[in-house]
Amino acid sequence: MALRELASLEKYLGLKKPNKYSTQGDKKVPVLQNNNAPPLVGLVTIACHLVKEAKRSELLGCGAEARAVVQQWLEYRVTKLDGHAKEDIKTILKDLNLYLQDKVYLAGNQFTLADVLMYYGIHSIILDLAVQEKEQYMNVTRWFDHIQHHPGVRHHLPPVAVLRNRLYTSRHH
């Protein structure tokens, strides 16, 4: 899963030569194999590295404060979103919904790596929401729809119809 995410991110960043990856342990933590440096371990670490490699550091936030906000959500992705318990889903959505109330992107008005990785991480949750729930978490839905249509981001994931019908979650279509 994480590897597919990284492959999609590479495509988004327009990195020409693909990197070599492997995984580590039961949780399949991604490992970036580097020829002339020790391997890098961890989704966020690798993603940040790729962004710098692509010379797109604006995606990590401009200025120390914005960088902190981006890092905050990247950390949230790997600590709270990954491995969430089922009963946490509502809390996650509720909190994010409130947070996104007055924001276009996670870091305010700028699209960043936080949006990409949070989008990848939350995709399966959104996929399973009924329309009523999508309405309930309107800000999350709006942000999600926005990101999935951001050019070049979606790649390995199926698009989620934000409003379709009232009976099923999108997974079963």
Partner 1 sequence: MMELFVSEGNPHCLKVLAALEVTGVQCGVHFINHEEKVVPFLSRPALPALLLPSKQHIFSSNTICRYLFELNGPESSDQCNQWLEWEATVLQPALLRALHMAVLQGKGSEVSKVLQSPLNVLDQSLGKGNMSYLTGKDVSVADIVLWGALHPVLFNSSLALSDHKFVKAWFDRVAAMSGCQSAAQKVLQGKGLEAMKSYMQRQPAPQSRDTQPCNSSPVESEEGERVVSEEEMEAAALTWRKDINACSQTTEKQHPIMPKEGMRNVLITSALPYVNNVPHLGNIIGCVLSADVFSRYGRLRGWNVLFVCGTDEYGTATENKAREEGLTPKQICDKYHAVHSSIYRWFQIDFDFFGRTTTEKQTEIAQDIFWRLQKNGFLVEDTVEQLRCENCQRFLADRFVEGICPHCSYPEARGDQCDKCGRLINAVELREPQCKVCKQTPVIRSSKHLFLDLPKLETQLEQWLEKSTSSGDWTANAKQITRSWLRDGLKPRCITRDLQWGTPVPHPDFKEKVFYVWFDAPIGYLSITANYTSDWEKWWKNPHQVELYNFMAKDNVPFHSVVFPCSLLGAQDNYTLVNHLVATEYLNYEDTKFSKSRGVGVFGDMAKDTGIPSDVWRFYLLYVRPEGQDSAFSWADMALKNNSELLNNLGNFINRAGMFVTKFFGGCVPEMELQQEDKKLLAVVGWELQQYIQLMDKVKIRDALKHILNISRHGNQYIQVNEPWKKIKGGESERRRAGTVTGVSVNISCLLSVMLLPYMPAVSQTIRDQLNAPQSCINTMLLGPGSFVCALRAGHRIGTVSPLFQKLEADQIEALKKRFGGQQITASSQQPAVVPAPPAVAEVKTGVGADPEKAKQLAKAVAEQGDKVRALKSQKAEKDVIAAEVSKLLDLKKQLALAEGKSPEPAAQKGKKK
Looking at the Cβ atoms of 103 and 149, the one nearer to partner 1 is 103
Q: What is the 3-state secondary structure (H, E, C) of the chain?
A: CHHHHHHHHHHHHCCCCCCEEEEECCCCEEEEECCCCCCEECHHHHHHHHHHHCCCHHHHCCCHHHHHHHHHHHHHHHHHHCCCCHHHHHHHHHHHHHHHHHCCECCECCCCHHHHHHHHHHHHHHHCCCHHHHHHCHHHHHHHHHHHCCCCCCCCCCCCCCCCCCCCCHHHC
Tell me: does residue 109 bind partner 1 (CB under 8 A): no
Residue of 14, 83, 109, 151 that binds partner 1 (CB under 8 A): 83
Instruction: Tell me how far, at minimum, the Cβ of 101 lies from partner 1, in Å.
Output: 8
Tell me: does residue 11 bind partner 1 (CB under 8 A): no
Residues near partner 1 (CB under 8 A) are 1, 26-27, 29, 38, 40-45, 48-49, 64-65, 67-69, 71-72, 75-76, 78-79, 81-86, 91, 94-95, 98-99, 101, 121, 124-125, 128, 165, 167-168, 171-172
